């Protein structure tokens, strides 16, 4: 399966989806006005990854500095696809990074964690 | 009752230390420019990271709320089609984000109900409502279910301070002030 890589902009994150390595990375800012448009290829890729036989272990790195409410639903869609991967007896861990003292970003991660049936690891980035 | 005077509202709202004001059409590019400008300003001010992030988050949601949900302004004012006002100021050491735009009377009740509900809820209740809407409701690319407003209240840690000023038989001016707590 072809990897998908999207370069970040001031309003959209860097995305690296690599089926060979079983690695999913979303980093940077996610504050576009139209998030559905941005996340569509990401969600489609994950749908394919999930159905075409994912790696035994998928490592997910979410390291967002900011995200808007328009993105929040799309990020949940991303996680729901990964939940599907997890359900089929594969190991999936979501590593949720937040900057030191950024309690809002930690809480946002915990909000997702409480909605989803998938392991989360909260990781503080120290200065 | 005296008719609503836009300039008077602006004068009243731009008191204290003002970092940015904008009056005109709200476009995606404009939002990018404002965010960039304000981020640079906050960067240079040695502000607490937590406060900076909260201000930036509230700014994004406020501006994008305007971008997605704005009504056309009354023709008499000869304003841009997506006309809105945005002001970032600081008073008593706390940041205030003010926005203003014209709304049709028929939208006031929905907006008022939504903001009253948000203001009535505790921090934990807001968190539950946010998660409920996030997880259960179908919503469009415009966001929806009032997630933006809930997020603003959660991040700011304060009530939404709003007003509707009657303008003419069809429109009111809707102002919203959000003060970002520095807890």
Quick count: other Cβ atoms within 10 Å of Cβ B59? 26
pLDDT number for residue A87:
86
H or E segment at A84? helix A69-87
pLDDT in the model for residue B139: 57
DSSP state letter for A22: T
Range of the domain at B110: 6-180
Select the residue of A11, A69, A76 nearest B143 (Cβ to Cβ): A69
Contacts of B66 (CB under 8 A, 6+ apart): B26, B82, B84, B86, B99, B101
Low-confidence ranges of chain B (pLDDT < 50): 141
* Helix residue spans in A8-53 (DSSP H): 35-51
Q: Which H helix or E strand runs over A78?
A: helix A69-87
- Domain membership flag for residue B1: no
What's the pLDDT score for residue B124?
A: 95
Q: Is B28 on the interface with A (CB under 8 A)?
A: yes
Query: Quick check: is B159 in a domain?
Result: yes
Please tell me whether the interface predicted TM-score (ipTM) of this complex is above 0.95.
Answer: no
Q: Is residue B55 part of a domain?
A: yes
Q: What are the two backbone dihedrals, phi and then psi, of residue B78, each rounded to the nearest 5 degrees?
A: 50, 55
CATH of the domain at B127: 3.30.565.10
> Is A56's pLDDT higher than 60?
yes
Establish if B88 belongs to a structural domain.
yes
CA distance B29 to chain A (A): 10
Name chain B contacts of A125, Cβ cutoff 8 Å.
none
Q: Which residues of A touch B142 (CB under 8 A)?
A: 70
Residue B165 lies in a domain: yes
Phi, psi of B180 (to 5 degrees): -90, 120
Residue B59 lies in a domain: yes
Query: At A53, is the pLDDT very low, low, confident or very high (cuts 50, 70, 90)?
Result: confident
The answer to whether residue A80 neighbours chain B at the CB level (below 8 Å) is no
Q: Do B56 and A66 touch (CB under 8 A)?
A: yes
Q: Residue A126: its pLDDT value, please?
A: 86
- The answer for A 2-61 residues in CB contact with B (under 8 A) is 10-11, 31, 33-37
Quickly list H helices, chain B: 6-13, 28-43, 49-69, 105-120, 123-136, 147-156
Task: Return mean pLDDT, chain A.
Answer: 94
Model pLDDT, residue B144: 55
Asked if the structure places residue B72 within a domain, the reply is: yes
Q: Which two tokens stand for residue B69?
A: 């949900």
In a domain, B105, yes or no: yes
Structurally, chain B folds into a number of domains equal to: 1
Selecting from B49, B56, B64 the residue whose C-beta is nearest the C-beta of A33 gives B64
């Amino acid at each position: 399966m072809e990897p998908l890589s999207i370069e970040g902009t001031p309003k959209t994150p860097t995305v690296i989806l690599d089926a060979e390595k079983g690695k999913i990375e979303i980093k940077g800012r996610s504050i576009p006005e139209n998030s559905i448009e941005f996340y569509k290829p990401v969600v489609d890729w994950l749908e394919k990854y999930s159905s075409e036989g994912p790696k035994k272990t998928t490592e997910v790195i979410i390291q967002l500095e900011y995200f808007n409410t328009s993105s929040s639903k799309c990020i949940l869609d991303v996680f729901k696809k990964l939940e599907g991967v997890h359900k089929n007896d594969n190991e999936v861990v979501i590593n949720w990074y937040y900057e030191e003292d950024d309690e809002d970003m930690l809480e946002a991660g915990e909000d997702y964690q409480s909605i989803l049936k998938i392991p989360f690891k909260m990781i503080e980035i120290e200065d | 009752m005296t008719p609503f005077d836009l300039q008077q509202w602006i004068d009243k709202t731009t008191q204290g230390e003002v970092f940015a004001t904008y009056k005109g059409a709200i476009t995606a590019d404009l939002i990018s420019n404002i965010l960039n400008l304000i981020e640079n300003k906050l960067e240079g001010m040695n502000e607490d990271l937590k406060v900076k992030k909260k201000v930036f988050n509230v700014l994004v949601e406020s501006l994008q709320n305007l971008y997605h949900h704005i009504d056309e302004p009354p023709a008499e004012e000869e304003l841009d089609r997506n006309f809105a006002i945005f002001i970032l100021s600081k008073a008593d050491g706390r940041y205030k984000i003010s926005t203003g735009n014209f709304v049709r009377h028929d939208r006031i009740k929905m907006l008022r109900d939504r903001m009253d509900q948000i203001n009535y809820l505790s921090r934990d209740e807001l968190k539950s409502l946010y998660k409920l809407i996030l997880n259960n409701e179908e919503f469009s690319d415009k966001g929806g279910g009032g997630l933006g407003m809930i997020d603003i209240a959660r991040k700011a840690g304060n009530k939404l301070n709003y007003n509707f000023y009657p303008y003419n038989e069809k429109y009111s001016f809707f102002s919203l002030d959000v003060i970002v707590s520095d807890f």
